[in-house]
Amino acid sequence: MKISFPLLWANKTKILLFGAVMLAGGALFFFGFPKIPDGNAGIAAPAPTKAKNRKGDDVAALRKKLNALSPQGIHVVIDTGQNLLFIRKGEQTLHRALVSTGSGNVLQDPSGERKWIFDTPRGVFSVGSKTRKPYWVKPDWAFIEEGEAIPKSYNDRIEAGGLGEYAVGIGNGYFIHGTLYTRLLGRNVTHGCIRMADEDLKRLYQTVPIGAKVMIF
């Protein structure tokens, strides 16, 4: 008789925070059992042992390993499922804020040549820029979405005041910025950027340095 046990796989793009276990750093963890040889001749049954808090011990050991993989300095963690942003320093949470993240909606160019998916990217990024009083240079999709003609002039694309007092760039055209629609915080409604309330955004801008890691899941 041959007995095998399935493996438990942890997706490296997911990070479980502030629960029982945090999975981060792109590590892949496997748990399994050895195969039992065919037949049972000559194999003695294992002696009974006292039950220990194995689960708690395993969780503590795993948390210790995972914390070693996490950034030790100031970094940002964004949970797109719960629409929460955490400013952390090592294992300590310095600030927690309600945010809005990508809607996942799809916009098709009427010409049929282009398509946009408005989702917040998952992965590990870095703070690349910090801007006060930012303005938005509206991309083509912003005009297509509103049914407007795409302007030829660069100046016609500029829109001031919609991004709040600060903008923190994390690369590939994505920013953490303010919002005019604070009633929508906590919902997946954006075109991919992360929106925050004014006071939370100010705290982020003042606390998080250039180069800090931003972990999004």
Over the stretch 78-134, which tens digit does the pLDDT of each residue have? 999 999 999 999 989 999 999 999 999 999 999 888 999 999 999 999 999 999 999
Q: Which domain holds residue 29?
A: 1-34+53-70
Domain assignment present for residue 47? The answer is: no
Amino acid 55: pLDDT? 60
Token pair in block for residue 60: 């503590």
Domain assignment present for residue 105? The answer is: yes
Amino acid 67: pLDDT? 66
Amino acid 66: pLDDT? 59
Are 64 and 137 found together in one domain?
no
Give the residues of the chain that fall short of pLDDT 70: 1-56, 62-63, 65-69
**Residue 191 bears catalytic tag:** no
Amino acid 60: pLDDT? 77
Are 92 and 65 found together in one domain?
no
pTM of the model: 0.69
**Residue 75 bears catalytic tag:** no
**Cα–Cα distance, 164 to 211 (Å, whole number):** 22
**Cα–Cα distance, 129 to 21 (Å, whole number):** 32
Are 197 and 116 found together in one domain?
yes
